[in-house]
Structure 1
Amino acid sequence: MARILYSGNRNASSWAFRAWIALREQNIDFKELIVDIRRPQRWKNLAEIGAFSPPAAVPVLVDNECVIYDSLAIMEYANELGDGSLLPSNIKLRAQARSLVAWQHSTFSKVCACLSFESAFYKEKKQLTTNEITEAEWVYSIWEKHLIEHSGPYLVGEFSLADIALVPSVLRLKAHHSVSENFPLTREWIQRLLERPHIQEWLTEAYALEPIYCEGYYSS
């Protein structure tokens, strides 16, 4: 059996995006099968994934007899299967990188919760509330502190899983609230991050697709 990544729509599957970037950044060969997760076919398609993956979600990486069904696990697996460069060798930097990844994996979605990954690709963006602007500015300030502490060019120094984990969140926040001059390192980091070739490859395909509109976006 070949190494297969079950992915999702380019403009909707933020978790698959993270797994895909990690695999590509480590130059790992894999076949990609894109699962259409738009409604109404979403439920049937994901039920089929559930036949071999308990969460019945994407991404899933099948490497011969090994089934890895969590984006973070796939990212870590890609790093270990590759040259290990996506986590710092320094134990404290590695812990900080993992902290950023864990935050994204657990509660970061509560920040500007109405701004889904899909909304980054909408031509007409909603007007943010005062609270959403405050939350976005708070996140930018945290990223700025990390970049100052580690002197860049990425969040914990060199490009890592921390940067990969945050790409979809960078997209959805930046698309709605530009980074001001108050956070110059964050502006540079975001530009550097989004210009990486593999990220550009995914985004070029994503922007070419018809938007997937989420219910309540314009009324929230």
Structure 2
Amino acid sequence: MKLYIGNKNYSSWSLRGWLACKQSGLPFEEIVVPLYDDAWAETRLREEFQPSAGKVPVLWDGEAVVWDSLGIIDWLADRTHRDRFWPKDPVACGLARSMAAEMHSGYMALRREFSMNMRARHTDVPVSPEAHQDVMRILSLWAEARARFGRGGPFLFGSFGAADIMFAPVVSRFETYGFTLPGFARAYSEAVLGHEWMAQWTEAALAETWVIDRFER
């Protein structure tokens, strides 16, 4: 498999696709494509990006191509075993899938005001009422998952899975912008940031030299 991703410092969707590939246990080659550089207009027109209309991540698995992080998660779950990604308990699985889907399509104010930037650290950043509402909704979902299904480990549903993959960039944003989190959310965030794969991604992100001005405050 070949996974095309963007800059690790900035690309939240690439992080999700990469974590999904790691979670699958299948061997894959990662190909980093600098986003929005001088060559990006031509790069995004290359054959490997045609199916996704120039967006990352893109996963090529033989002749099959899958783009969009949630699509990649489902593809890899089918390729391996769904228990690798989703809770076995059907009630927990229903909550996990709903949380992942809501993360996929929602929280626009949080995304707009707090873009992913793993190298940066900010404090006292103003938060709009809309972004605050997004944060409170996320924390309420984390609290429900941890209270009902998190006894088997430090992650949302105990063991690391698709829901954690989808929320990993949010954890990164909370760290970057100095959000004050309640104890359970801080413990969960530390578990995600301390995960071996997240640590690998963070190290690579910090080593990058690209700067994309639109994502710098």
Work out whether the TM-score is over 0.5. Answer: yes
- Note the residue ranges of structure 2 that are not aligned, 5 or more in a row: none
Residues 30-84 of structure 1, C-alpha deviation per residue, up to 9 Å, x if partnerless? 1111111133332221121565314221111111111112211111122222333
Q: Is the 8 A contact 1:11 1:207 kept in 2?
A: yes
Which deviations, in whole Å up to 9, do the C-alpha atoms of 1:108-137 show, x marking residues without a partner? 23325211013x422456722363556535
SS in 2 for 1:128: coil
User: Partners of 1:190 and 1:51 in 2: how far apart?
Assistant: 33
User: 1:156: Cα distance to partner?
Assistant: 2.6
1:168 aligns with 2:169: yes
TM-score (norm 1): 0.84
Superposition CA RMSD, Å: 2.4
Alignment of 1:63-212 (within 5 A): 63-84=61-82, 85-111=84-110, 113-118=112-117, 120-124=118-122, 127-129=125-127, 131=129, 132=131, 135-152=134-151, 153-180=154-181, 183-210=182-209, 212=211
Letter in 2 for 1:169: V
* CA distance in 2: counterparts of 1:209 and 1:175, whole angstroms: 17
Pick closer, same or farther for the CA change 1:6–1:190 going to 2, 3 Å.
same
Q: Percent identity among equivalent residues?
A: 23
TM-score by length of 2: 0.85
Equivalent in 12, 15, 21 of residue 14 of structure 1 = 12
Partner in structure 2 of residue 4 of structure 1: 2
Could you give the per-residue CA deviations for residues 134-187 of structure 1, whole angstroms, max 9, x where no partner exists? Answer: 65355334322321222443223332100100101111123213334xx22211
TM-superposition CA deviations, 1:7-28 (whole Å, max 9, x none) = 1111122111111111112211
**Residues 49/102 of structure 1: CA separation in 2 closer, same or farther (3 Å cut):** farther
Contact 1:49–1:56 at 8 Å: present in 2 too?
A: no
Q: Is the 8 A contact 1:7 1:16 kept in 2?
A: yes
Deviation at 1:209, TM superposition (A): 2.1
Output the CA distance in 1 between the equivalents of 2:177 and 2:47.
33
Which moved further from structure 2: 132-141 or 90-99? 132-141
Take 1:126 and 1:208, find their aligned partners in 2: how far apart are those partners?
26
Q: Could you tell me how far apart the structure 2 residues matched to 1:112 and 1:200 are?
A: 22
Measure how far apart 1:94 and its partner are: 1.2
- The gaps in structure 1 that reach 5 residues or longer are none
Aligned to 2:214: 215
Task: Please identify, of 161-170 and 21-30, the stretch whose mean Cα deviation from structure 2 is larger.
Answer: 21-30
Question: Is the contact between residue 57 and residue 68 of structure 2 (CA under 8 Å) also seen in structure 1?
Answer: yes
| Deviation of the 1:107 alpha carbon | 1.2
- Correspondence for 1:44: 42
